[in-house]
Amino acid sequence: MGHGRKRVLVVDDEAGLRSLICTAIDAFLVETGIHIEEEQTAHDAYVRVVQGANDRWFIVTDYKMPPVNGHPIRDGMDLIRRVRGHTPDVQAHIVFMTGTSIAEEDVHALGADRFLEKPYIFSAIIEDLVQFLASE
């Protein structure tokens, strides 16, 4: 299966932090024509990824987010679990961010490519993004 365009998605319920991450990433996307997409909930992010299942995704997701009533995708770990387990054809590089104590091994076992604890080091996100942009 061929994959379509590259897409960047930032998922965080805190608008200020989401905006800060988007601003840091945007400087590296100026010449690529890629626009940053944003979602406030893991559920909405998953819906967006499924709708663009043929595209290649770079996803930056927070761990703790408020659940959406009636939806099983409650947080960043659920998002990773769904993207990796229920939609295996989706090609995605996932950066997982948390301010909560959680085992890094558990996050990697779910399929996260990068694990970041607060305070976040934006250079790590940018490093992954540059590799994603350079990949075929």
* Structural domains present in the chain: 6-134 (3.40.50.2300)
Tell me the two tokens of residue 79: 């998002």
The kind and range of the H/E element at 106 are helix 104-110
- Cα–Cα–Cα angle for 28, 4, 121, nearest 5°? 30
Tracing tokens 């993207």 back to the chain, one arrives at: 83
β 6-11/36-39 pair status: parallel
Check residue 62 and give its pLDDT: 93
Q: What is the mean pLDDT of residues 14-24?
A: 92
**pLDDT tens-place string over residues 47-56:** 999 999 999 9
Mean pLDDT of the chain: 89
* 64 pLDDT higher than 80: yes
What's the Rg (C-alpha) of the chain? 14
Statement: the pTM of the whole predicted model exceeds 0.75:
yes
